[in-house]
Amino acid sequence: MIVSEEARALHEAALFVDLHCDLILAKKLIGWDWKKRHAPNPLFGAPLFGHCDIPRLHEGGVNAMALGLVINPLRRRSGPAAIDADLARMAAEVTRSPDDLAICGTVQAIRTAKAQGRIACFAGLEGAHGLDTRLEDLPRFRAAGLRYVGLAHFSANTACRPMVGWGADNTAPLSDYGRALVDELGRLGILVDLAHVGRAGVIEAAARANKPVIISHTACTAVHPSPRGVDDGLLRAVADTDGVVGVIFVTPFLGPGGVHRVVQHLDHIRRTVGVRHAAVGTDWEGFAVFPEALDSAEKLPNLTQALLDAGWSTADVHAVLGENFLRVFGAVCG
Protein backbone atom coordinates (compact mmCIF):
# COMPACT_ATOMS: atom_id res chain seq x y z
CA MET A 1 0.00 0.00 0.00
CA ILE A 2 1.39 3.43 -0.95
CA VAL A 3 1.35 5.98 1.86
CA SER A 4 1.35 9.61 0.76
CA GLU A 5 3.54 12.33 2.26
CA GLU A 6 0.35 13.93 3.60
CA ALA A 7 -0.60 10.75 5.44
CA ARG A 8 2.92 10.27 6.79
CA ALA A 9 3.04 13.82 8.11
CA LEU A 10 -0.40 13.46 9.72
CA HIS A 11 0.57 10.13 11.26
CA GLU A 12 3.81 11.50 12.68
CA ALA A 13 2.03 14.50 14.20
CA ALA A 14 -0.65 12.33 15.82
CA LEU A 15 -0.23 10.64 19.18
CA PHE A 16 -1.08 7.01 18.50
CA VAL A 17 -2.28 4.83 21.38
CA ASP A 18 -2.75 1.08 21.01
CA LEU A 19 -5.39 0.03 23.54
CA HIS A 20 -4.24 -3.60 23.56
CA CYS A 21 -0.92 -5.28 22.70
CA ASP A 22 0.26 -8.67 23.98
CA LEU A 23 4.03 -8.13 24.02
CA ILE A 24 4.23 -9.30 27.63
CA LEU A 25 2.53 -12.57 26.66
CA ALA A 26 5.01 -13.07 23.81
CA LYS A 27 7.88 -12.45 26.22
CA LYS A 28 6.45 -14.89 28.76
CA LEU A 29 5.67 -17.71 26.33
CA ILE A 30 8.46 -17.56 23.75
CA GLY A 31 11.04 -15.18 25.20
CA TRP A 32 10.33 -12.52 22.55
CA ASP A 33 13.13 -9.95 22.46
CA TRP A 34 11.51 -6.52 22.43
CA LYS A 35 14.76 -4.71 21.58
CA LYS A 36 15.62 -6.73 18.47
CA ARG A 37 14.17 -5.84 15.09
CA HIS A 38 12.51 -9.03 13.91
CA ALA A 39 11.49 -9.84 10.37
CA PRO A 40 7.70 -9.72 10.01
CA ASN A 41 5.90 -13.03 10.36
CA PRO A 42 6.08 -14.42 6.78
CA LEU A 43 3.05 -16.71 6.99
CA PHE A 44 -0.30 -15.76 5.48
CA GLY A 45 -2.18 -13.63 7.98
CA ALA A 46 0.92 -13.46 10.22
CA PRO A 47 -0.66 -15.96 12.63
CA LEU A 48 0.12 -16.20 16.33
CA PHE A 49 2.96 -13.73 16.92
CA GLY A 50 5.76 -11.68 15.34
CA HIS A 51 3.92 -8.39 14.83
CA CYS A 52 5.99 -5.87 16.75
CA ASP A 53 9.16 -4.97 18.58
CA ILE A 54 10.62 -1.65 19.68
CA PRO A 55 12.27 -0.76 16.32
CA ARG A 56 9.09 -1.52 14.35
CA LEU A 57 6.88 0.24 16.90
CA HIS A 58 9.00 3.38 16.49
CA GLU A 59 8.91 3.08 12.71
CA GLY A 60 5.14 2.66 12.75
CA GLY A 61 4.61 5.70 14.95
CA VAL A 62 3.27 3.93 18.03
CA ASN A 63 3.52 6.39 20.93
CA ALA A 64 1.69 4.54 23.71
CA MET A 65 0.43 1.03 24.30
CA ALA A 66 -1.58 -0.88 26.84
CA LEU A 67 0.24 -4.14 27.53
CA GLY A 68 -2.08 -7.03 28.26
CA LEU A 69 -1.64 -9.17 31.38
CA VAL A 70 -2.93 -12.66 30.53
CA ILE A 71 -3.44 -14.85 33.60
CA ASN A 72 -4.12 -18.60 33.51
CA PRO A 73 -7.77 -19.02 34.64
CA LEU A 74 -7.02 -22.53 35.94
CA ARG A 75 -4.60 -21.09 38.49
CA ARG A 76 -6.86 -18.47 40.01
CA ARG A 77 -5.34 -18.51 43.47
CA SER A 78 -1.91 -17.67 42.07
CA GLY A 79 -3.38 -14.90 39.90
CA PRO A 80 -2.21 -11.95 42.01
CA ALA A 81 1.34 -13.31 42.06
CA ALA A 82 1.19 -13.77 38.28
CA ILE A 83 0.05 -10.15 37.89
CA ASP A 84 3.01 -9.04 40.00
CA ALA A 85 5.32 -11.11 37.77
CA ASP A 86 3.92 -9.62 34.55
CA LEU A 87 4.17 -6.09 35.91
CA ALA A 88 7.78 -6.87 36.81
CA ARG A 89 8.35 -8.05 33.23
CA MET A 90 7.05 -4.72 31.94
CA ALA A 91 9.32 -2.83 34.34
CA ALA A 92 12.31 -4.95 33.31
CA GLU A 93 11.77 -4.17 29.63
CA VAL A 94 11.60 -0.46 30.39
CA THR A 95 14.81 -0.75 32.39
CA ARG A 96 16.47 -2.54 29.46
CA SER A 97 15.39 0.18 27.01
CA PRO A 98 15.16 3.47 28.97
CA ASP A 99 15.66 5.58 25.85
CA ASP A 100 12.80 3.82 24.06
CA LEU A 101 10.18 3.00 26.72
CA ALA A 102 8.60 4.62 29.77
CA ILE A 103 5.93 3.46 32.20
CA CYS A 104 3.31 6.21 32.12
CA GLY A 105 0.27 6.54 34.34
CA THR A 106 -1.06 9.97 33.35
CA VAL A 107 -1.87 11.80 30.13
CA GLN A 108 0.90 14.31 30.78
CA ALA A 109 3.42 11.51 31.21
CA ILE A 110 2.30 9.99 27.89
CA ARG A 111 2.66 13.32 26.08
CA THR A 112 6.07 13.87 27.66
CA ALA A 113 7.21 10.40 26.55
CA LYS A 114 6.20 11.18 22.96
CA ALA A 115 8.14 14.44 23.05
CA GLN A 116 11.18 12.48 24.27
CA GLY A 117 10.84 9.87 21.54
CA ARG A 118 9.87 7.16 24.00
CA ILE A 119 6.90 4.78 23.86
CA ALA A 120 4.59 5.11 26.86
CA CYS A 121 3.62 1.80 28.46
CA PHE A 122 0.91 0.88 30.94
CA ALA A 123 -0.73 -2.43 31.76
CA GLY A 124 -4.23 -3.78 31.26
CA LEU A 125 -5.42 -6.94 33.00
CA GLU A 126 -7.42 -9.40 30.87
CA GLY A 127 -9.96 -10.92 33.20
CA ALA A 128 -10.92 -10.36 36.82
CA HIS A 129 -10.07 -13.98 37.59
CA GLY A 130 -6.48 -12.79 37.96
CA LEU A 131 -7.43 -10.79 41.05
CA ASP A 132 -8.85 -13.83 42.90
CA THR A 133 -11.39 -11.36 44.38
CA ARG A 134 -8.57 -9.53 46.21
CA LEU A 135 -9.60 -5.90 45.77
CA GLU A 136 -7.00 -4.95 48.36
CA ASP A 137 -4.22 -5.73 45.85
CA LEU A 138 -5.43 -3.16 43.31
CA PRO A 139 -3.57 -0.15 44.78
CA ARG A 140 -0.28 -2.07 44.58
CA PHE A 141 -0.94 -3.07 40.97
CA ARG A 142 -1.85 0.50 40.08
CA ALA A 143 1.38 1.80 41.58
CA ALA A 144 3.26 -0.64 39.31
CA GLY A 145 1.52 0.59 36.15
CA LEU A 146 -1.86 -1.16 35.91
CA ARG A 147 -4.34 1.25 34.34
CA TYR A 148 -7.25 -0.92 33.22
CA VAL A 149 -8.93 -4.10 34.37
CA GLY A 150 -10.91 -6.22 31.94
CA LEU A 151 -13.80 -7.80 33.81
CA ALA A 152 -13.57 -10.99 31.73
CA HIS A 153 -11.36 -12.81 29.24
CA PHE A 154 -12.28 -16.18 27.73
CA SER A 155 -13.61 -17.78 30.91
CA ALA A 156 -16.28 -17.15 33.52
CA ASN A 157 -15.10 -15.71 36.80
CA THR A 158 -16.54 -14.46 40.08
CA ALA A 159 -17.25 -11.01 38.59
CA CYS A 160 -19.09 -11.86 35.37
CA ARG A 161 -19.47 -14.11 32.33
CA PRO A 162 -17.66 -13.69 29.00
CA MET A 163 -19.31 -13.17 25.61
CA VAL A 164 -17.52 -16.23 24.21
CA GLY A 165 -15.48 -18.99 25.81
CA TRP A 166 -15.76 -21.19 28.89
CA GLY A 167 -18.96 -20.29 30.74
CA ALA A 168 -20.05 -17.70 28.18
CA ASP A 169 -23.44 -16.10 28.79
CA ASN A 170 -24.63 -12.89 27.16
CA THR A 171 -27.63 -12.68 29.49
CA ALA A 172 -25.81 -12.96 32.83
CA PRO A 173 -25.58 -9.86 35.03
CA LEU A 174 -22.58 -8.88 37.09
CA SER A 175 -22.21 -10.63 40.42
CA ASP A 176 -22.17 -8.67 43.68
CA TYR A 177 -18.39 -8.94 43.55
CA GLY A 178 -18.41 -7.66 39.97
CA ARG A 179 -20.39 -4.62 41.05
CA ALA A 180 -17.99 -4.00 43.93
CA LEU A 181 -15.06 -4.31 41.51
CA VAL A 182 -16.53 -1.70 39.15
CA ASP A 183 -17.03 0.63 42.11
CA GLU A 184 -13.49 0.10 43.43
CA LEU A 185 -11.88 0.61 40.03
CA GLY A 186 -13.67 3.92 39.74
CA ARG A 187 -12.55 4.95 43.22
CA LEU A 188 -8.91 4.08 42.53
CA GLY A 189 -8.73 5.66 39.08
CA ILE A 190 -8.39 2.45 37.07
CA LEU A 191 -10.30 2.05 33.81
CA VAL A 192 -13.04 -0.57 33.50
CA ASP A 193 -12.47 -2.56 30.29
CA LEU A 194 -15.51 -4.42 28.97
CA ALA A 195 -13.82 -6.32 26.13
CA HIS A 196 -14.83 -10.01 26.23
CA VAL A 197 -17.69 -9.33 28.69
CA GLY A 198 -21.15 -10.78 27.98
CA ARG A 199 -23.74 -8.32 26.68
CA ALA A 200 -25.78 -7.98 29.87
CA GLY A 201 -22.61 -7.47 31.89
CA VAL A 202 -21.48 -4.68 29.57
CA ILE A 203 -24.81 -2.90 29.88
CA GLU A 204 -24.83 -3.17 33.67
CA ALA A 205 -21.18 -2.20 34.16
CA ALA A 206 -21.49 0.83 31.89
CA ALA A 207 -24.64 1.97 33.69
CA ARG A 208 -23.02 1.49 37.09
CA ALA A 209 -19.70 3.18 36.34
CA ASN A 210 -19.37 6.80 37.43
CA LYS A 211 -16.51 7.40 34.98
CA PRO A 212 -15.93 6.57 31.30
CA VAL A 213 -15.45 2.89 30.44
CA ILE A 214 -13.67 1.30 27.48
CA ILE A 215 -13.89 -1.74 25.27
CA SER A 216 -10.21 -2.06 24.45
CA HIS A 217 -10.29 -4.38 21.44
CA THR A 218 -13.39 -5.50 19.57
CA ALA A 219 -15.32 -5.03 16.31
CA CYS A 220 -18.83 -4.03 15.25
CA THR A 221 -21.32 -6.79 14.51
CA ALA A 222 -23.25 -4.41 12.25
CA VAL A 223 -20.25 -4.48 9.90
CA HIS A 224 -19.34 -8.14 10.33
CA PRO A 225 -21.06 -10.73 12.55
CA SER A 226 -18.62 -12.14 15.07
CA PRO A 227 -18.86 -13.64 18.56
CA ARG A 228 -16.23 -11.09 19.69
CA GLY A 229 -18.03 -8.09 18.23
CA VAL A 230 -20.39 -5.60 19.86
CA ASP A 231 -23.77 -4.41 18.63
CA ASP A 232 -25.01 -0.83 18.39
CA GLY A 233 -26.66 -1.02 21.78
CA LEU A 234 -23.30 -1.73 23.40
CA LEU A 235 -21.68 1.09 21.43
CA ARG A 236 -24.31 3.43 22.88
CA ALA A 237 -23.81 2.07 26.40
CA VAL A 238 -20.09 2.88 26.25
CA ALA A 239 -20.67 6.23 24.56
CA ASP A 240 -23.17 7.18 27.27
CA THR A 241 -20.27 7.03 29.76
CA ASP A 242 -18.17 9.16 27.37
CA GLY A 243 -15.92 6.13 26.87
CA VAL A 244 -14.26 4.66 23.79
CA VAL A 245 -14.39 1.45 21.78
CA GLY A 246 -11.11 0.18 20.30
CA VAL A 247 -11.35 -1.54 16.92
CA ILE A 248 -9.25 -4.70 16.76
CA PHE A 249 -7.04 -5.68 13.78
CA VAL A 250 -7.89 -9.41 13.89
CA THR A 251 -9.25 -10.59 10.53
CA PRO A 252 -11.89 -13.12 11.71
CA PHE A 253 -13.54 -10.41 13.81
CA LEU A 254 -13.26 -7.70 11.15
CA GLY A 255 -14.30 -9.71 8.14
CA PRO A 256 -12.60 -9.52 4.72
CA GLY A 257 -11.26 -6.25 3.39
CA GLY A 258 -8.00 -5.65 5.24
CA VAL A 259 -7.13 -2.15 6.42
CA HIS A 260 -10.19 -0.74 4.67
CA ARG A 261 -12.34 -3.06 6.75
CA VAL A 262 -10.81 -1.58 9.91
CA VAL A 263 -11.88 1.83 8.62
CA GLN A 264 -15.40 0.52 8.02
CA HIS A 265 -15.66 -0.54 11.67
CA LEU A 266 -14.27 2.80 12.86
CA ASP A 267 -16.61 4.63 10.52
CA HIS A 268 -19.57 2.66 11.89
CA ILE A 269 -18.71 3.83 15.40
CA ARG A 270 -18.35 7.40 14.09
CA ARG A 271 -21.75 7.32 12.39
CA THR A 272 -23.54 5.51 15.22
CA VAL A 273 -22.28 7.28 18.36
CA GLY A 274 -19.77 9.86 17.10
CA VAL A 275 -16.08 9.89 16.29
CA ARG A 276 -15.40 10.91 19.91
CA HIS A 277 -15.93 7.28 20.95
CA ALA A 278 -13.71 5.49 18.41
CA ALA A 279 -10.20 4.19 19.10
CA VAL A 280 -7.80 1.39 18.11
CA GLY A 281 -6.76 -1.78 19.97
CA THR A 282 -4.57 -3.84 17.64
CA ASP A 283 -4.24 -7.12 19.61
CA TRP A 284 -0.76 -7.56 18.09
CA GLU A 285 1.08 -10.58 19.51
CA GLY A 286 -2.33 -11.89 20.52
CA PHE A 287 -2.03 -15.27 18.78
CA ALA A 288 -4.45 -14.28 16.03
CA VAL A 289 -4.58 -13.60 12.27
CA PHE A 290 -4.14 -10.12 10.83
CA PRO A 291 -4.68 -8.36 7.46
CA GLU A 292 -1.55 -8.00 5.34
CA ALA A 293 -1.50 -4.19 5.51
CA LEU A 294 -1.57 -4.24 9.34
CA ASP A 295 0.30 -7.42 10.28
CA SER A 296 3.49 -5.65 11.37
CA ALA A 297 3.85 -2.49 13.43
CA GLU A 298 5.82 -0.50 10.87
CA LYS A 299 2.80 -0.74 8.54
CA LEU A 300 0.59 1.31 10.86
CA PRO A 301 0.68 4.44 8.61
CA ASN A 302 -1.44 2.36 6.20
CA LEU A 303 -4.35 2.95 8.59
CA THR A 304 -3.91 6.72 8.45
CA GLN A 305 -3.79 6.57 4.65
CA ALA A 306 -6.96 4.46 4.56
CA LEU A 307 -8.75 6.91 6.85
CA LEU A 308 -7.80 9.82 4.58
CA ASP A 309 -8.88 7.81 1.53
CA ALA A 310 -12.27 7.35 3.22
CA GLY A 311 -12.65 11.12 3.59
CA TRP A 312 -11.80 11.51 7.26
CA SER A 313 -10.65 14.95 8.38
CA THR A 314 -7.31 15.58 10.05
CA ALA A 315 -9.07 16.28 13.35
CA ASP A 316 -11.04 13.02 13.20
CA VAL A 317 -7.89 11.02 12.36
CA HIS A 318 -6.05 12.53 15.34
CA ALA A 319 -9.07 11.74 17.52
CA VAL A 320 -9.33 8.07 16.63
CA LEU A 321 -5.57 7.41 16.66
CA GLY A 322 -5.18 8.56 20.23
CA GLU A 323 -6.79 11.76 21.43
CA ASN A 324 -10.14 10.11 22.21
CA PHE A 325 -8.49 7.56 24.46
CA LEU A 326 -6.29 10.17 26.11
CA ARG A 327 -9.44 12.12 27.04
CA VAL A 328 -10.83 9.01 28.74
CA PHE A 329 -7.49 8.11 30.31
CA GLY A 330 -7.23 11.58 31.79
CA ALA A 331 -10.79 11.50 33.12
CA VAL A 332 -10.18 8.23 34.96
CA CYS A 333 -6.45 7.86 35.60
CA GLY A 334 -5.21 11.43 35.68
- The domain spans of the chain are 5-332
Q: Residue 77: its pLDDT value, please? A: 83
Residue from 313, 211, 310 nearest 268 by CA: 310
User: CATH fold of 5-332, please?
Assistant: TIM Barrel (3.20.20)
Contacts 24+ apart (CB under 8 A), 225-228: 226/252, 226/253, 226/255, 227/163, 227/164, 228/163, 228/164, 228/196, 228/253
CB 267 within 8 A of CB 23: no
C-beta neighbour count of 5 within 10 angstroms = 7
Mean pLDDT computed over every residue of the chain: 97
Q: Residue 186: its pLDDT value, please? A: 98
Residue from 89, 137, 97 nearest 116 by CA: 97
Low-confidence residues in the chain, pLDDT < 70 = none
Q: What percent of the chain has pLDDT over 90?
A: 96
Q: What is the pLDDT of residues 4-24, one digit of tens each?
A: 999 999 999 999 999 999 999
Length of the chain: 334
Q: Residue 283: its pLDDT value, please? A: 98
Give the integer Cα–Cα distance in Å for 161 and 178: 10
Q: Backbone dihedral region of 5: left (phi > 0), alpha (psi from -120 to 50 degrees) or beta?
A: alpha
Supply the pTM of this predicted model. Answer: 0.97
Give the integer Cα–Cα distance in Å for 84 and 87: 5
Q: Residue 317: its pLDDT value, please? A: 98
Q: Residue 118: its pLDDT value, please? A: 98
Contacts of 251 (CB under 8 A, 6+ apart): 45, 288, 289, 290, 291
Q: What is the pLDDT of residues 65-101, one digit of tens each?
A: 999 999 999 887 899 999 999 999 999 999 999 999 9
